[in-house]
Structure 1
Amino acid sequence: MGAALTGRRRRAVVVTGASAGVGRATAVAFAARGDRVALLARGREGLAAAADDVERAGGEALVVPVDMADAKAVEDAAQQVVDAFGHIDVWVNNAFAGVFAPFQDITPDEFRRVTEVTYLGYVFGTRAALRHMLPRDHGTIVQVGSALAYRGIPLQSAYCGAKHAIQGFNESLRCELLHDGTRVRTTMVQLPAMNTPQFEWVLSRLPGRARPVAPIFQPEVAARAVVHAAGHGRRREYRVGGSTVATLIANAVAPGLLDRYLGRTGFASQQDQGDHRGNGNLWVPADGPHGRDHGAHGRFDDEARTRSAQDWASRNRDRVGVVVAVGGLGVALTAGLRRLGRTPSPR
């Protein structure tokens, strides 16, 4: 299957939030290299369809329904993976929930739920992964983040707060792992706006239909970055999309100006014409009990980008460094030869 075709060792991989969107695309990307993939999420319709995708891609699928906000259930899910696969090589934290609304329109229970799924779900997943990785002194944990882990935007206060928390948590954990000298790694992948089904099922109180802020990328772009990060866990962070890098630079250089810019543009840029329908998936899966499989893609295929030059450069820093060094040497040599050509010959 995939492992025979690629000649790579089959890894045991866990992907949370695997029933749709980036998680679904990531699970398929791991399967394409022949890995065994445990699919963790709440939605049973989506999980069943994701398992079919994994098998068709050349991997082996294990379906584990779980709510990532339940610490005991996450520990049990990790044990179920180890019982089936023998160990865990890679754990990808990706599951999240959100509410599109001004802060004052989000109830305390809703804010708590977003935080429990999006932030504590990563904490619980990481703890479960470490429980099995540390005794083997082997494994990589990939935290799927966002540009919003550094830069908050309007209408997503709960989600932005959770992503900021993940960033701080992951940095703290990374320092501890380095101190301990373990070969278990943790890394983070910061994503731009993605074309996923979340904008169809997210709980929204906006007058328009929720949408991501352009430019938008296909979930397969994120999946490539996550798979690469899983194999190169020594790197502390990967950033996908030039828009992610530009946002982080702008926030570092002129955060006050960015506040004002987002205050003017952030409401309109996150809405389309039309009504948002449905109660979202905050409390129950979007595909059940009588729902449907939503797949990896959202409704923005016509405008979503399938490639990211910045992502390629991030994953190929050594090649980029060589090209830059060779280019710089060429410029220096050319300049030197020109100076020699203008220098009078000695008499």
Structure 2
Amino acid sequence: MRVKGSVVVITGAASGIGRATALRFAAEGATVVVASRRAKALATLTEECRRHGVEALGVPTDVTDATAVDELARRTVERFGRIDVWVNNAAVTFFSPFLKVPVEDFRRVLDVNVMGYVHGARAALTQMQLQGAGVLVNVASIVGEVPQPYTSAYSVSKAAVRALGASLRSELLLDREKHIDVVTVLPATIDTPFFRHAANYTGREVVPMPPLYSPQRVARAIVKAVESPRREVVVGPAGRQFAVQHRVAPGTTEAMMAVQTDRTHLSRHNAAPDSPGNLYSPSSEPRDAEVEGGWGGRRRTAQRRLALLGLAVGTGVVLRRALR
């Protein structure tokens, strides 16, 4: 699909991957409609998008409310005439031992991360079938392939998102909808405010698990997936490696994920009080409405690339000397 001139709807757009994706589509010349619970964050985002010379609309939306999501779609079509791309991205999580987390928090994660995507998919596909074309992008996570401890509901929800995508692709195939695509994106650990938002009942501060990648990398992958749709797109070499390992040696890989999560995803030095995070109300912190979380994802990616480049150059020198 041609991105320039298309109409793109993005949920969970106030920060992180959603915000980066909106800005990327705007830079590529697309009209963007952004949705989130945070009206003020949407206002600043639409202003940033318009600097690229495109139209932008912010619609405050709670994706757990099917009527609100339908209204998001209605306003988009009313204003711009169609929906070419819909990106389901809004998500929440908790970090907690399974038996400690309040059951209502578990249910809330599933309501946002699964039913929110269901509401978005129904609204988007209804319009896309009327048009005869469109791309639905569901942002899942590599933990949908390799679940981790302490985020049981999130892992369940992202596995469900993968299953939803496969089921929808099957139905579109049977309906002979050749010009409607469903793409599932599975990012690895991304440097966003997401980890500060999370509900937490572990007693330890949540930090991103390395290796860490930039949200701009995910945004580029989403735009590319819209231009050339694929079934699933894993973002980040570590995510791809984990996925392959899990299919070959699931028990070993799950053990590795468990140890790595415990050692690197939860601080060994900083305690944290029990908190429901942003499960029921959005953060009011200005820094939580930014693209990056402040953990240096772009810097770390650049450092890894430089290291790999140095290794490649060094290997080339050794080979040339050997050939001489």
Q: Same fold (TM over 0.5)?
A: yes
Distance (Å, rounded) in 2 between the aligned partners of 1:195 and 1:276: 20
Following the alignment from structure 2 to structure 1, what is the Cα–Cα distance between the partners of residues 304 and 216?
Answer: 11
Count of paired positions: 300
Structure 2 residue aligned with 1:71: 66
Kindly indicate whether the alpha-carbon contact (under 8 Å) linking 2:3 and 2:223 is maintained by their aligned counterparts in 1.
no
The residue number in structure 1 matching 2:147 is 152
**One-letter amino acid matched to 2:202:** L
Instruction: Tell me, yes or no, if the aligned pair for 2:3 and 2:25 is still in contact at 8 Å.
Output: no
CA apart distance, 1:308: 9.1
SS state at 1:67 partner: coil
Alignment counterpart, residue 277 of structure 2, candidates 277, 280, 297: 280
User: Structure 1 127/249 Cα, relative in aligned 2: closer, same or farther at 3 Å?
Assistant: same
Corresponding position of 1:258: 253
Q: How far, CA to CA, are the matches of 1:8 and 1:245 in structure 2?
A: 26
Partner of 2:99: 104
C-alpha spacing 1:58/1:275, structure 2 compared with 1 (3 Å): farther
Deviations 1:225-255 (A, max 9, x none): 001111122x211111111111111111111
1:125 is aligned with what amino acid? G
State the partner residue of 1:95.
90
- Supply the distance in 2 between the matched residues of 1:203 and 1:71 (Cα, whole angstroms): 24
Is 1:201 aligned with 2:197?
yes
Corresponding residue SS for 2:51: helix
Separation in 2, partners of 1:226, 1:19: 17
Contact 1:34 1:60 in 2 (8 A): no
- Pick the aligned partner of 2:172 from 163, 169, 177: 177
Moved over 6 A (4+): none
2:294 corresponds to 1:299 = yes
Deviations 1:287-337 (A, max 9, x none): 27xx6662110021265425998xxxxxxxxxxxxxxxxxxxxxxxxxxxx
Q: In the aligned structure 2, how far is the partner of 1:31 from the partner of 1:276?
A: 38
Q: Is the 8 A contact 1:49 1:293 kept in 2?
A: no
The alpha-carbon deviation at position 131 of structure 1 amounts to 1.1
CA distance in 1, matches of 2:300, 2:170: 36
Would you say 1:20 and 2:15 are equivalent positions?
Answer: yes
Q: Which amino acid aligns with 1:255?
A: P
CA distance in 1, matches of 2:199, 2:255: 26
Which position in structure 2 is the counterpart of 1:335?
Answer: none
TM-score by length of 1: 0.82
Contact 2:3-2:226 within 8 A present in 1 as well: no
Supply the distance in 2 between the matched residues of 1:250 and 1:42 (Cα, whole angstroms). Answer: 37
**Matching residue within 109, 119, 126 for 1:114:** 109
Amino acid aligned to 1:51: T
Return 51-60 or 297-306, whichever deviates more.
297-306
Identify the range of structure 1 (178-187 vs 264-273) with the bigger mean alpha-carbon deviation: 264-273
Q: 1:343 — aligned with what?
A: none
Corresponding residue SS for 1:194 = coil
Q: Scaled by the length of structure 2, what TM-score is found?
A: 0.88
Does the CA contact (< 8 Å) of 1:193 and 1:213 recur in 2?
Answer: yes
Aligned partner letter, 1:123: V
| CA separation of 1:299 and 1:209: change in aligned 2, threshold 3 A | farther
Q: What's the counterpart of residue 231 of structure 1?
A: 227
1:163 to 158, 164, 170: 158
Q: Which one of 245, 257, 266 corresponds to residue 240 of structure 2?
A: 245
User: What's the counterpart of residue 130 of structure 1?
Assistant: 125
Superposed displacement of residue 144, structure 1:
1.0
Question: Would the alpha carbon gap of residues 263 and 185 (structure 1) be closer, same or farther in structure 2, given more than 3 Å must change?
Answer: closer
Give the SS at the match of 2:233: strand
Unaligned runs of 5+ residues in structure 2 are 306-324
Q: CA separation in 1, counterparts of 2:37 and 2:3?
A: 31
Corresponding residue for 1:190? 186
Post-superposition Cα deviations, 1:160-209, rounded to whole Å, max 9, x if no partner, equal: 00000111111011011111111111111111100000111211122322
Relative to structure 1, is the Cα distance of residues 117 and 191 closer, same or farther in structure 2, using a 3 angstrom cutoff? same
Task: Evaluate the alpha carbon distance shift between residue 170 and residue 63 of structure 1 in structure 2; reply closer, same or farther with a 3 A threshold.
Answer: same
Q: Distance in 2 between matches of 1:179 and 1:279?
A: 42
Cα RMSD (Å) of the superposition? 2.0
